[in-house]
A and B are shown apart, each in its own frame.
Chain A
Amino acid sequence: MKTIALLTVLAIGAFLLYGTPEFPAWGDPQAPAALHVSPYYIEHTIEDTAVPNVVTSVLADYRGYDTMFETSVIFAAGLACLMLLRRYQPKTQETRLYRHVPTGITLRIAQGGKIPEASDEFERIDSQWVPYDLIVKLTARLIVPFAQLFALYVIAHGHHSPGGGFQGGVIYGAALILYAVSFDLRSTFRRLSERTAILLSAAGVLIYASTGFLCMLMGGNFLDYGYLAPLLGGDPVMARSHGIFIVEIGVGMAVMAVMVSLYYNLASAGRHDEGL
């Protein structure tokens, strides 16, 4: 069986290598890909979509289908990771550990024991408790809001500069992950619970797809944002620009939520306790 697999792989590799010299040279202006659609995109982007950044208009408008399914792939990856890794434990925990913050004493509370009220004095910990680092915590506190602001800027500024939903979503997710790394997973769940993260990732894909269906309802093709002009105000060209923006918001939401939910599952091995 292994030999058959090896032979198949070698044969396919040989065919691919055989086909490689037929490719046009790197950056060849006479290559078929550069002759047919690219000049159209480059010449007509501004008059079609009012978006100065050609990459954004190709990504979210001319090839909107492609990006929609890319977003779905990210969503599916998040779901797959959740299904593979998430371990649901029964709610009735046998013993819990609490740490009294001012003194540093750890309390073990047996099943049925009185659990301390939620306050700053007691924090729930798991067996591996590592003392927090004040410097790292403070720096994360300082950096996270700026990183989130920058992520929103990248999403919103994708029309004019490199950026857009994917990049902005990743930065936003990284900001939340930075928070989770420097604090712990439980305090991150208080800001963005697992449930909210999954709902947000689904909502992002939903925003994208429903924008497409809205265009169909208004009488156009799927993801033909020009037909949204009566809803958004302005002419069809500006409507395409706004449509791209709506779609980018959806992409950003999905990417951010999937990043965070992947981290939740990977960092705690699916147990969703204290984490790293």
Chain B
Amino acid sequence: MNILATVLLICGLFFFFGGAVGILRFPDFYSRLHPAGKLDTMGQLSSMIAMALYAAQDLSLNAILTALKIMLIVAFVFITSPTATHAIVDAGVRAGLLPWSRGIRRGEE
């Protein structure tokens, strides 16, 4: 159980790291939201599952309830995080921001 939790936690940290790098490195608003939305959701999913596994180790009622609460957080972030990303992208489209393409350099329109 411990090993599984550690592996999942490292996996989640890897996704978080990728997300942070992506936010810094990607060229424009829309493509930056891609790592922000996807990788952070995935990172929190696996690291939270790791915490739930770690908490539910001794199989007492308290520990299982804690694990269930952590899983509830996972479920809600899994619903809300992509929705937030969607809303931000939507706002960008409505405000008329053009996506980045090869011809246009950063900062120019």
Contact = CB atoms under 8 A, between A and B. Distances in A.
Contact of B86 (A130, A135, A146): A135
Given A136-B83, A143-B76, A146-B76, 13 more contacts: A130-B94, A133-B87, A133-B90, A135-B83, A135-B86, A135-B87, A136-B86, A136-B90, A139-B79, A139-B80, A139-B83, A142-B79, A143-B80
B87 A136 contact: yes
Interface in B58-100: 76, 79-80, 83, 86-87, 90, 94
A253 B87 CA distance: 30
B6 to A, nearest CB: 28
Contacts, number: 19
Interface residues of A, number: 8
Interface of A: 130, 133, 135-136, 139, 142-143, 146
Interface residues of B, number: 8
Q: Which of A130, A139, A143 has the most CB of B within 10 A?
A: A139
A142 B94 CA distance: 25
A54 B90 CA distance: 46
A202 to B, nearest CB: 33
A136 B83 CA distance: 6
6 contacts: A130-B94, A135-B83, A136-B87, A142-B79, A143-B80, A146-B76
Q: Which of B83, B86, B87 has the most CB of A within 10 A?
A: B83
A151 to B, nearest CB: 14
B84 to A, nearest CB: 9
Contacts of A130: 94
Complex A-B, nearest 8 residue pairs according to Cβ-Cβ distance, in ascending order: A139-B83, A136-B87, A135-B86, A133-B90, A135-B83, A139-B79, A136-B83, A143-B80
Contacts of A146: 76
A143 B83 CA distance: 11
A122 to B, nearest CB: 24
Contacts of A135: 83, 86-87
Contacts of B80: 139, 143
A139 B78 CA distance: 11
Nearest to B90: A133
A133 B76 CA distance: 19
A244 B83 CA distance: 38
Contacts of A136: 83, 86-87, 90
Contacts of B79: 139, 142-143
A265 B43 CA distance: 38
Nearest to B83: A139
A74 to B, nearest CB: 27
Contacts of B76: 143, 146
A143 B76 CA distance: 8
